[in-house]
Copies of this chain bind each other. A is one copy, B any other.
Amino acid sequence: MGAVTPAAAHSDRAPKQDRSRATRMRLLEAAVACLAELGWARSTVSVVAERAGVSRGAAQHHFPTREDLFTAAVEYVAEQRSHALRELSAKTRAEVVAALVDLYTGPLFRAALHLWVAASHEAALHARVAELEGRVGRETHRIAVRLLDADESRPGVRETVQGLLDMARGLGLANVLTDDTGRRERVVRQWGHLLDEALG
């Protein structure tokens, strides 16, 4: 121990931190995939650890409880979604509407949906998921307003954008049991027109 120079100690610690971060991310991604495919009841820490190729002990070192693991996973998903939104290069409002709706289909929305529904009757999840959902909702709204170039000082504009995000969430839910892509594309095209007119 005493023979290790500070520089060597640092270079030894850095790869360890990288490995730890990589393990954490593998666990978060596996948690989202498990939630989306298996639902809350079957998504245990053991199932996630096995899918991530990580020991149960290592998983519990990162996330002491099941609630810690899954709320962190959905937060991670939400950050990825916000990041993707901010990077969006959509030009027209119709393109922005389509991109916003896309956020609510696929495994990320599906995982969040399972967590929300479980939180509605699991006391240990409720407060954390409600807080997380509120935070993600406000962030998504802010980004949508900017991308749509919507002037929220005009009466009704705020509620118009909120209703659009509610519609996107409802379209996501409609896609959970069956592939609803064709119908969804037609609805998105039409409401893209209506929204463009409404926002002026």
Partner of A129 from B168, B177, B189, B191 at Cβ < 8 Å: B177
Decide if A118 is an interface residue (CB 8 Å cutoff). Answer: yes
Cα A138 to Cα B172 in complex, Å, equals: 18
With both beta carbons as reference points, the residue of chain B lying nearest to A171 in the complex is identified as B166
CB A105 to nearest CB in B, in angstroms, measures: 12
The majority secondary structure among interface residues of chain A is: helix
Asked whether A169 and B163 contact (CB < 8 A) given A41-B41, A134-B178, A198-B194, the answer is: no
Partner of A169 from B40, B116, B174, B190 at Cβ < 8 Å: B174
With both beta carbons as reference points, the residue of chain B lying nearest to A125 in the complex is identified as B177
B120 touches A173 (CB 8 A): no
For residue A183, which residues in chain B have a CB less than 8 angstroms away from its CB? 162
For residue A190, which residues in chain B have a CB less than 8 angstroms away from its CB? 156, 159-160, 163
Decide if A133 is an interface residue (CB 8 Å cutoff). Answer: yes
Decide if A117 is an interface residue (CB 8 Å cutoff). Answer: yes
Cα A137 to Cα B121 in complex, Å, equals: 26
- Using an 8 Å CB-CB cutoff, how does the interface string of A160-193 with B read, 1 for contact, 0 for none? 1011011111111110111000010011011101
Cα A194 to Cα B200 in complex, Å, equals: 12
Chain A residues 131-152 with CB under 8 Å of chain B are 133-134, 137
The 8 residue pairs across chains A and B that have the minimum distance between CB atoms: A170-B170, A169-B170, A159-B190, A166-B170, A167-B167, A41-B41, A39-B121, A163-B191
